[in-house]
């Protein structure tokens, strides 16, 4: 959970927590599950990948 505290974006926190609990998901699956627009989700996912908190394999994201 300390990883989440360092995230400034509410969307990034939601994505990270969801992936930590549920495993891998596509952006579309995250959008539906979190009721967030892809325009908000994709930059959050990119930041999480850059921070090495999430891995992207193909179209799926997974918490590290």
Backbone angles phi, psi at 38, to 5 degrees: -60, -30
pLDDT digits 0-9 by tens, 39-61 = 999 999 999 999 999 999 999 99
Q: How far is CA 46 from CA 51, 57, in A?
A: 9, 12
| Residue 38 to residue 25: CA distance in whole angstroms | 13
| Residue 57 to residue 24: CA distance in whole angstroms | 9
For the chain, domains (ranges, CATH) are 2-63 (1.10.10.10)
Global confidence as pTM: 0.87
Task: Please determine, for residue 4, whether its predicted confidence score (pLDDT) is greater than 90.
Answer: no
Residue 5: per-residue pLDDT: 62
Q: What is the DSSP letter of 36?
A: -
- Mean pLDDT (the chain, rounded): 91
Q: What is the mean pLDDT of residues 6-33?
A: 93
């Amino acid at each position: 959970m300390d990883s989440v505290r360092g995230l400034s974006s509410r969307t990034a926190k939601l994505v990270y927590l969801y992936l930590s609990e549920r495993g891998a998901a596509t952006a579309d699956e995250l959008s539906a599950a979190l009721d967030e627009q892809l325009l908000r989700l994709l930059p959050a996912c990119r930041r999480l990948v850059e921070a090495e908190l999430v891995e992207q394999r193909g179209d799926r994201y997974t918490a590290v």
